[in-house]
Amino acid sequence: MIFSITYSQGRNYEESKSIYEQDLLEHGYYMKKLLKEGKLLLAGPFLDNSGGQVILKVDDENEVKEIINHDPAVIKNIFSYELKAWDVRFNALEFHR
């Protein structure tokens, strides 16, 4: 299954700082771990400093919720999130490998 996670500013997001100045080092390491495991397809911050987007391929909703619950940025309330299951019908990325 494919899931979309939209991150937005959480309670502990420091609005006076850019997204690159937030305490997100552990979150970045966590994303790299998911990438190495083959679960992370796409991820990155929005250019308007409002949060970011992650696309995951996992077995089911329980797995994606487990991933979110262990995300350091969510644990630290730097990010809040919106989770949606995604029925991908068109995928140009497969043609660019």
Q: What is the mean pLDDT of the chain?
A: 94
**CA distances to 6, 59, 60, 95 from 64, in Å:** 13, 8, 7, 26
Taken in order of first residue, the domains within the chain and their CATH numbers are 2-90 (3.30.70.1060)
How many Å apart are CA 25 and CA 78, to the nearest integer? 12
Give me the pLDDT at residue 96, please. Answer: 52
Q: What's the pLDDT tens digit per position in 24-65?
A: 999 999 999 999 999 999 999 999 999 999 999 999 999 999
**CA distances to 1, 9, 26, 47, 75 from 50, in Å:** 26, 6, 19, 8, 18
How many Å apart are CA 7 and CA 10, to the nearest integer? 9
- How far, in whole angstroms, is CA 26 from its chain's centroid? 13
Asked if residue 97 has pLDDT above 80, the reply is no
Task: Measure the N-to-C terminal CA separation of the chain; round to a whole number of Å.
Answer: 21
Asked if residue 19 has pLDDT above 80, the reply is yes
Segment holding 41, helix H or strand E: strand 40-45
pTM of the model: 0.90
Looking at the chain, the whole-number percentage of residues with pLDDT higher than 70 is 96
Give me the pLDDT at residue 92, please. Answer: 80
